[in-house]
Chains A and B, each alone.
Chain A
Amino acid sequence: MTVMLAAAAAVLFGLGTYLLLQRKLSRIIIGLGLLTHGANILMITAGKRGNPPIIGESRPEDLADPLPQALALTAIVITFGVTTLLLALAYRSWLLNGDDEVQDDVADRGIGQSEVVHDEIEDQLQVIAREEHR
């Protein structure tokens, strides 16, 4: 059981990471959902398995460890709230740009295109062109 849960967590982490690397915000959000589920499953795996943790139902040694479940539940609630906010932002982005692609940082682009850097890129391109010519 633990091996299966660990494998499930691994698959979720892998898929989540892949989706995170996309540019579309909707894919990133789904990726984050998978990633956080992976973390939550890992959290569940951390506890001891056993009977439902209700005092009087079975012997204390046989009870499951309820703490990781409570921790995972807290994490799920928090992620739920933040994901909702992200979806709202993605919608806002779609309203403003007609697209949910993550935009470039304009100020950063400006510095990248300033003259000093620009000249350097020109020089590099010339070097490459010359080498290709040869």
Chain B
Amino acid sequence: MSWLLPLPIVLPLLAAALSILAGRSKTAQRVIGVGTLGALVVVSILLLIEVERAGIVVIEAGDRPDPLGISLVADRFSAVLLLVAEITLFAVLVYAIGEPTTERNHVGFQSAYLILAAGVAASFLTGDLFNLFVAFEMMLTASYVLMTLGGRQEQVRAGMTYIIISLIASTLFVTALALLYSATHTVNMADLAVRLDELPSGVRTAFAVLLLVVFGIKAAIFPLFFWLPDSYPTAPSPITAVFAGLLTKVGVYAIVRTQLLLFTDDSRPATLLLVIAGATMVIGVLGAIAQDDIRRILSFTIVSQIGYMVMGLGFFTVAGIAAVIFSIIHHILVKTSLFLTTGLVERAGGSTKLSSVGGLVRTVPIVATLFLLSALSLAGMPPFSGFISKLALFEAGIDAQHLAIIAVAIVVSFLTLFSMLRIWTGAFWSPAEVAPPPAPVDAKRNGPTLMVLSTTFLVACSLAVALAAGPIYAFSERAAASLLDRDAYIEAVTGP
């Protein structure tokens, strides 16, 4: 079954080429896009079943013996993230097709979107650090195009910041790779893990911190997060949703993967991770409280939530990492649905500023319900998935005797709830402070059917995560245990 592994990378790339060739017909493009991503959801389910059976699935690209060839590796962690990512990408594409502006007006939208999907999948599946760089670039280049689609002044401004920051991160990545290569003469991750062990512990710590900085820029951790709330809100709403849901989480995935696989206990910057986590949580949520625009509030809460994930990693225990995996699954689904709902709010209220929309609970009750469910989940209210992820993180922290950071995390939880309630009271519950611009007269007031359906689907997925929390958490624990078992990974890739 290892032939499944290249499919999530190859299929969308082929489909992207086909899609641009079929540029004349919007229908053909849509069939290709939705068909490919639908097929990939099935592929990733099959892959998850296979990984659950076999533990770790490996394929050497071009059948070259390791470590010469590029290996694609799926373990439980990457397989489950791949599945969640493909579901999200599928739902957001349906949403974009339903939205009457973005997808309809740009012939290259579908192609860029599919390349983004290929890049995300490649980042999760690669077993080679240089290939991870290429996967990141694939994903980022597609994201540059998607972010600046339309070329409005605001987008050009934010897009430039985003591209420059990402390019600096990529340059640092190349630098890190060059230093790693000169120290170990390999870029295969399993091989690197073996050869790094032979280096002095100080050198290994330096590499651990260097890689943390590289991926920290993508994951938006403190103090490298400032580009995110600035650039994400300017993109069209389905694009912002998929960026918010997936791109930062790919950065978190890379941090978790490299810290756990490449480094051992004596060279992991555990205390540094916890300090960063605390600062990321606090500053993210304080930023969210100061903002007036819904998209900017949500962007700042992304930063804050990334802090929780880094905190779980910083414990370096099975419970902590299981909680991180559960949080990532929860956060991808909830954050994407929040941004999709914001797109619906913008259609219904004509703006995303809290000061100029209001009373939406009466005009668009379905949108209001979808928002409330996701917002309460993000804030960590029981019985939603956010509550379970936070509870798991807190338990892991108490077990690991890191009480100070848990106290910070609990305070930040309440502040997150406060920022979500600000959106709820500002946009949905209270009447508008300023007279709103005339809303587009629509037959269906809640928004086009496809947009509402795909948002509902994602919210339903996040509720399903809460319902099936037992099995999913048990799976996360197995995934965390296999992440901490470096030898099994190394043996699966390089052979016994």
- Which residues on B sit within 8 Å (CB–CB) of A93? 156-157, 160
CA distance A9 to B137 in the complex (A): 22
The answer to whether B168 and A20 have CB atoms under 8 Å apart is yes
CA distance A103 to B181 in the complex (A): 39
Stretch at the interface among B170-178, B276-284, B469-477, B481-489: B170-178
CA distance A47 to B183 in the complex (A): 10
Indicate whether A43 reaches chain B with its CB closer than 8 angstroms: yes
- Which residues on B sit within 8 Å (CB–CB) of A20? 164, 168
The answer to whether A43 and B174 have CB atoms under 8 Å apart is yes
- Which residues on A sit within 8 Å (CB–CB) of B153? 96-97, 103
CA distance A108 to B228 in the complex (A): 13
In the assembled complex, the CB of B241 is this many whole angstroms from the nearest CB of chain A, namely: 19
CA distance A75 to B178 in the complex (A): 11
- Which residues on B sit within 8 Å (CB–CB) of A92? 151, 156
Flag B119-139 by CB within 8 Å of A: 1 or 0 each: 000000000001001100100
CA distance A93 to B160 in the complex (A): 9
CA distance A113 to B175 in the complex (A): 40
Quick one: closest B residue to A117, CB to CB?
B290
Flag B156-168 by CB within 8 Å of A: 1 or 0 each: 1111110110011
- Which residues on B sit within 8 Å (CB–CB) of A43? 174, 177-178, 181
In the assembled complex, the CB of A107 is this many whole angstroms from the nearest CB of chain B, namely: 6
In the assembled complex, the CB of B106 is this many whole angstroms from the nearest CB of chain A, namely: 15
CA distance A4 to B331 in the complex (A): 48
- Which residues on A sit within 8 Å (CB–CB) of B145? 85
Count contacts on B: residues with CB < 8 A to the other chain.
40
Flag A74-96 by CB within 8 Å of B: 1 or 0 each: 11001101100110011011001
The answer to whether B179 and A86 have CB atoms under 8 Å apart is no
DSSP majority for the B interface?
helix
List A residues 26-41 near B (Cβ within 8 Å). 28, 32, 35-36, 38-40
The answer to whether B230 and A71 have CB atoms under 8 Å apart is no
Indicate whether A68 reaches chain B with its CB closer than 8 angstroms: yes
CA distance A107 to B465 in the complex (A): 35
Count contacts on A: residues with CB < 8 A to the other chain.
40
The answer to whether A89 and B161 have CB atoms under 8 Å apart is no
Do A71 and B177 contact each other (CB < 8 Å), given the known contacts A32-B168, A45-B182, A111-B292? yes
- Which residues on A sit within 8 Å (CB–CB) of B160? 25, 86, 89-90, 93, 102
Indicate whether A56 reaches chain B with its CB closer than 8 angstroms: no
Quick one: closest A residue to B172, CB to CB?
A39
- Which residues on B sit within 8 Å (CB–CB) of A85? 141, 144-145, 163
The answer to whether A102 and B170 have CB atoms under 8 Å apart is no
Do A42 and B175 contact each other (CB < 8 Å), given the known contacts A32-B167, A71-B130, A107-B296? yes
Do A39 and B230 contact each other (CB < 8 Å), given the known contacts A82-B163, A111-B290? no
Contact with A45, one of B158, B178, B290 (Cβ below 8 angstroms): B178
Contact with B292, one of A28, A67, A86, A110 (Cβ below 8 angstroms): A110
- Which residues on B sit within 8 Å (CB–CB) of A90? 160
The answer to whether A39 and B292 have CB atoms under 8 Å apart is no
- Which residues on A sit within 8 Å (CB–CB) of B177? 43, 71
The answer to whether B292 and A47 have CB atoms under 8 Å apart is no
Contact with A68, one of B151, B157, B178, B293 (Cβ below 8 angstroms): B178
CA distance A89 to B157 in the complex (A): 9
CA distance A115 to B187 in the complex (A): 53
List B residues 225-274 near A (Cβ within 8 Å). 230, 233
The answer to whether B181 and A46 have CB atoms under 8 Å apart is yes
CA distance A79 to B177 in the complex (A): 16
- Which residues on A sit within 8 Å (CB–CB) of B161? 102
CA distance A75 to B136 in the complex (A): 12
In the assembled complex, the CB of B150 is this many whole angstroms from the nearest CB of chain A, namely: 11
CA distance A106 to B134 in the complex (A): 34
- Which residues on B sit within 8 Å (CB–CB) of A35? 168, 171
- Which residues on B sit within 8 Å (CB–CB) of A71? 130, 177, 181, 187
In the assembled complex, the CB of A76 is this many whole angstroms from the nearest CB of chain B, namely: 10
- Which residues on B sit within 8 Å (CB–CB) of A28? 164
Quick one: closest A residue to B134, CB to CB?
A74
CA distance A105 to B231 in the complex (A): 9
CA distance A18 to B296 in the complex (A): 31
Residues of A that sit less than 8 Å from B by CB: 20, 25, 28, 32, 35-36, 38-40, 42-43, 45-47, 65, 67-68, 71, 74-75, 78-79, 81-82, 85-86, 89-90, 92-93, 96-97, 102-103, 105-108, 110-111
Q: List 28 A-B contacts (CB under 8 A).
A: A32-B167, A35-B171, A36-B174, A38-B175, A40-B174, A42-B179, A46-B181, A71-B130, A71-B187, A74-B134, A75-B133, A75-B174, A79-B167, A79-B170, A82-B137, A82-B141, A82-B144, A82-B163, A85-B145, A86-B163, A86-B164, A86-B167, A89-B163, A92-B151, A93-B160, A96-B156, A107-B291, A110-B292
Residues of B that sit less than 8 Å from A by CB: 130, 133-134, 137, 141, 144-145, 148, 151, 153-154, 156-161, 163-164, 167-168, 170-172, 174-175, 177-179, 181-182, 185, 187, 230, 233, 290-293, 296
What 8 A-B pairs are tightest by C-beta distance, nearest first? A46-B182, A43-B178, A39-B174, A42-B178, A46-B181, A103-B157, A46-B178, A39-B175
Query: Known contacts A36-B167, A42-B179; can you find 20 more A-B pairs with CB under 8 A?
Result: A35-B168, A35-B171, A38-B171, A39-B171, A42-B175, A47-B181, A47-B182, A71-B130, A71-B177, A74-B130, A74-B134, A81-B141, A82-B167, A85-B141, A85-B144, A93-B156, A102-B157, A107-B291, A107-B293, A107-B296
